[in-house]
């Protein structure tokens, strides 16, 4: 029983660390997806239990780019001390590169690969003992010692001393039990390196305004361009540089062509405070929609949207255009792209077509999408699968997560808000690639008015 | 017996005070930040609402002008810049009202000099 109580107390202590976003502490890895050097990587930072101590950094690849070198630089913002190293991307079980940090507090991780640079701010936290364990175990130790002493003294018929020692034992037990009982009620001190926080949190930070633009301003079809998202705080007008890691990324950016034939789910790089950038290439001219899903620290998720257009007639565009003309209707596709790893014919190559339940979903009622992956699915962005749903005009976007059915079967449940045709892309990761399955969903309007 | 009870109570009270007191107690702010061009140590002896004196020690880089402003990220409050005066080489002091209310603030230090402009940010907990 006492052991159980001790265990509970220790567990409560262990769980009391702040749930903030970019914190790296022992046992709490930081995982950040980055679209860098034309591929999808997840950078894992494993924390250290003490400083000075080693931070272990590994890079997991989701596309066949194993061995891709990623230059790492960890810099303490407080004293400017910098350590560098190189990590090589691996599909499974990456080899962790150890970089020694000298202190807790704010740091910056600079990633460099394929001529692109990202700077990820994070904090190194180290839990310090609260003193409670010392009191608990010390109290019991003293109590045990004195009880034995008391028994022996009692046996040697010296009642006065026996009572004294028994009393001491009672004091030890009292201290230990009081600490066990009251410690969980007392907020644990913040770990070393944590920013100052107030206990009464406001109900979330102000909204974010996004300014989306492409560099160059009007990219040509087939040409590489940068999609830039500048984030501005709606209340202060300052750059928003407090993004939380939301489903293992600073931001999830979905770029689709208006007709849905082009699809990318990418994770832009933070290149400056409040600035996110990702390199893309679109093979066809036309209008494009970008949705950015992100979350500020201590706040809820937000969805930002922007539009841009791709001009010019690339050499491949005529062929794509004729295919679209043949098909006659808009429909989602997943053009081959390094960014998403999508296969051109993903629906055929990536397994059977998705099954809908009911076959024609009704607006306002939950519908289920099921599909079978060709092999075992590995978690990507912390989930087994992702379903992106877009209305035809691009004004609505849904991001659904797989419900954890396990194995190679993926199941998503979503309530389509209105009737009409939706463009949908199911995404999951298998051994060395990310599979994107495009399909359409026709939703009938709800019969009973809401 | 009574003495023992009192002793037990005292020990228990001391333990509770030790645990509770650990998290309390505001301290003067002294925090450093290093950027690409400059490095500073910011000292605020009494980080409270009302008039404060913010000392910025430029420990690296050659800054001509230093200005200090604050943002409360949770509430979306921001304050106008206080221009600091150079009291000694590399030592700047800004006086004025920087924190309209208590809570967690981010203090931005904007430095300008031959190397260019840079903004460094440090966290501050303001009480009282």
d(CA A96, CA A92) in angstroms, rounded, equals 12
B39 touches chain A (CB under 8 A): yes
Regarding the domain delimited by A2-124, which CATH topology (the fold level of the hierarchy) does it fall under?
Immunoglobulin-like (2.60.40)
The pLDDT, as a whole number, for residue A434 is: 94
Cα dist. A409→A343, A360, A378, A385 in Å?
20, 21, 12, 10
pLDDT tens profile B87-124: 999 999 999 999 999 999 999 999 999 999 999 999 99
The crossing angle, in degrees rounded to 10, of helices A2-15 and A132-155 is 160
- Return the higher-pLDDT residue of A187 and A422: A422
The pLDDT, as a whole number, for residue A8 is: 45
Mean pLDDT, chain A, integer: 84
The pLDDT, as a whole number, for residue A320 is: 39
- Lowest-pLDDT choice from A69-83, A251-265, A306-320: A306-320
DSSP B114: T
- Identical topology for domains A2-124 and A206-330: yes
Regarding the domain delimited by A340-450, which CATH topology (the fold level of the hierarchy) does it fall under?
Immunoglobulin-like (2.60.40)
Q: Which two tokens stand for residue A447?
A: 């019969």
pLDDT tier for residue A339 given thresholds of 50, 70 and 90: very low
d(CA A303, CA A306) in angstroms, rounded, equals 10
B100 touches chain A (CB under 8 A): no
Spatial CB neighbours of A75, under 8 Å, sequence gap ≥ 6? A81, A82, A107, A108, A110, B34
Verify cis geometry, omega within 30 degrees of 0, for the bond prior to A52.
yes
Percent of chain A residues past pLDDT 70, beyond the cut: 84
Residue B79 has pLDDT above 80, yes or no: yes
Q: What is the CA radius of gyration of chain A?
A: 28
Spatial CB neighbours of A40, under 8 Å, sequence gap ≥ 6? A33, A34, A61, A62, A63, A266, A267, A339, A340, A341, A434
Residues of A with CB below 8 A from B39's CB? 79-80
8 A C-beta contact, residue B56 and residue B67: no
The pLDDT, as a whole number, for residue A2 is: 55
Contact (CB<8Å) A164/B4: yes
Contact (CB<8Å) A175/B15: yes
- Say whether domain A206-330 belongs to CATH 2.60.40.1930: yes
Distance from the A270 Cα atom to the nearest Cα atom in chain B, whole angstroms: 16
The pLDDT, as a whole number, for residue A448 is: 62
pLDDT tier for residue B86 given thresholds of 50, 70 and 90: very high
Q: What are the backbone angles phi and psi of residue A134, rounded to the nearest 5°?
A: -60, -45
Nearest to A426 by CA among A392, A378, A389: A389
pLDDT tier for residue A145 given thresholds of 50, 70 and 90: confident
How many Cβ pairs closer than 8 A exist between chain A and B?
97
pLDDT tens profile A285-297: 999 999 999 999 8
The pLDDT, as a whole number, for residue A366 is: 94
A236 touches chain B (CB under 8 A): yes
Residue A78 has pLDDT above 60, yes or no: yes
Q: Is A58 helix (H, G, I), strand (E, B) or coil?
A: strand
pLDDT tens profile B13-61: 776 666 555 444 457 999 999 999 999 999 999 999 999 999 999 999 9
- Lowest-pLDDT choice from A189-198, A407-416, B15-24, B111-120: B15-24
Q: What is the CA radius of gyration of chain B?
A: 20
The pLDDT, as a whole number, for residue B1 is: 66
Contact (CB<8Å) A78/B34: yes
Contact (CB<8Å) B11/A233: no
Report all structural domains of chain B as residue ranges with CATH numbers, in order of start. 27-126 (2.60.40.10)
Residue A67 has pLDDT above 60, yes or no: yes
The crossing angle, in degrees rounded to 10, of helices A132-155 and B2-22 is 160
Residue A334 has pLDDT above 70, yes or no: no
pTM above 0.90, yes or no: no
Percent of chain A residues past pLDDT 90, beyond the cut: 57
pLDDT tens profile A4-38: 544 444 443 333 333 345 888 877 889 999 999 99
DSSP code string of A157-212: T-HHHHHHHHHHHHHHHHHHHHHHHHGGGSPPPPPBTPPP--SS--S-PPPEEEEE
pLDDT tens profile A109-130: 999 999 999 999 999 999 876 6
Please provide the size of chain A in residues: 450
8 A C-beta contact, residue A151 and residue A166: no
The pLDDT, as a whole number, for residue A323 is: 35
The pLDDT, as a whole number, for residue A14 is: 38
SS3 per-residue string spanning A203-233: CCCCCEEEEEEEECCCCECCCEEEEEEEEEE
Domain boundaries in chain A? 2-124, 132-185, 206-330, 340-450
Q: What is the dihedral of CA A14, A19, A24, A29, to 10 degrees?
A: 80
A307 Cα distance to chain centroid? 25
A350 Cα distance to chain centroid? 25
The crossing angle, in degrees rounded to 10, of helices A159-182 and A2-15 is 40
The pLDDT, as a whole number, for residue A345 is: 37
Q: Which two tokens stand for residue B56?
A: 């910025």
The pLDDT, as a whole number, for residue A154 is: 73
Residues of A with CB below 8 A from B20's CB? 186
A178 touches chain B (CB under 8 A): yes
pLDDT tier for residue A324 given thresholds of 50, 70 and 90: very low
């Amino acid at each position: 029983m006492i052991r159980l109580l001790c265990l509970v107390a220790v567990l409560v202590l262990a769980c009391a660390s702040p749930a903030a976003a970019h914190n790296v502490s022992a046992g709490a890895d930081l995982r950040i997806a980055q679209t860098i050097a034309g591929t999808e990587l997840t950078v894992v930072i494993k924390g250290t239990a003490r400083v000075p101590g080693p931070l272990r950094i590994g890079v997991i690849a989701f596309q066949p780019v194993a061995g891709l070198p990623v230059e790492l630089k960890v810099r303490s913002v407080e004293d400017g001390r910098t350590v560098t190293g190189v990590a090589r991307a691996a599909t499974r079980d990456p080899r962790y590169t150890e970089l020694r940090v000298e202190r807790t507090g704010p740091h910056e991780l600079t990633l460099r690969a394929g001529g692109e640079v990202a700077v990820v701010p994070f904090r190194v936290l180290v839990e310090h003992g609260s003193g409670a364990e010392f009191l608990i175990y010390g109290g019991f130790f003293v109590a045990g010692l004195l009880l034995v002493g008391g028994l022996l003294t009692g046996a040697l018929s010296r009642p006065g001393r026996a009572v004294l020692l028994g009393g001491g034992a009672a004091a030890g037990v009292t201290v230990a039990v009081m600490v066990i009982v009251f410690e969980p009620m007392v907020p644990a001190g913040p770990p070393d390196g944590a920013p100052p926080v107030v206990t009464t949190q406001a109900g979330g930070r102000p909204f974010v305004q996004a300014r989306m633009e492409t560099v160059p301003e009007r990219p040509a079809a087939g040409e590489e361009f940068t999609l830039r998202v500048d984030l501005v705080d709606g209340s202060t007008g300052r750059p928003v540089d407090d993004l939380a890691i939301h489903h293992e990324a600073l931001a999830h950016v979905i770029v689709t062509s208006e007709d849905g034939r082009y699809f990318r789910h990418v994770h832009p790089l933070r290149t400056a405070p409040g600035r996110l950038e990702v390199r893309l290439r679109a093979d066809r001219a036309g209008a494009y929609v970008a949705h950015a899903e992100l979350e500020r620290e201590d706040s809820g998720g937000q969805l930002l949207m922007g539009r841009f257009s791709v001009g010019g007639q690339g050499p491949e565009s005529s062929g794509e255009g004729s295919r679209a003309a043949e098909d006659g209707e808009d429909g989602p596709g997943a053009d081959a792209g390094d960014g998403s790893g999508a296969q051109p014919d993903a629906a055929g190559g990536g397994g059977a077509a998705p099954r809908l339940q009911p076959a024609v979903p009704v607006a306002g009622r939950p519908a289920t999408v099921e599909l079978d992956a060709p092999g075992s699915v590995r978690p990507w962005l912390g989930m087994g699968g992702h379903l992106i749903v877009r209305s035809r005009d691009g004004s609505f976007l849904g991001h659904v997560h797989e419900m954890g059915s396990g194995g190679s079967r993926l199941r998503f449940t979503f309530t389509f808000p209105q009737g009409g045709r939706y463009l949908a892309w199911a995404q999951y990761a298998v051994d060395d690639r990310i599979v994107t399955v495009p399909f359409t969903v026709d939703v009938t309007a709800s019969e009973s008015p809401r | 017996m009574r003495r023992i009870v009192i002793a037990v109570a005292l020990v228990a009270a001391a333990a509770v005070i030790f645990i509770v007191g650990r998290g309390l107690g505001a301290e003067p702010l002294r925090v450093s930040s290093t950027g690409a061009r400059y490095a500073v140590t910011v000292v605020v002896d009494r980080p409270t609402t009302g008039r404060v004196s913010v000392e910025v020690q430029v420990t690296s880089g050659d800054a001509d002008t230093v200005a200090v402003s604050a943002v409360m990220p949770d509430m979306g409050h921001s304050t106008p810049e206080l221009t600091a005066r150079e009291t000694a080489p590399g030592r700047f002091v800004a006086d004025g009202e920087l924190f309209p209310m208590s809570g967690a603030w981010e203090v931005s230090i904007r430095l300008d000099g031959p190397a260019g402009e840079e903004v460094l940010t440090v966290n501050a907990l303001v009480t009282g």
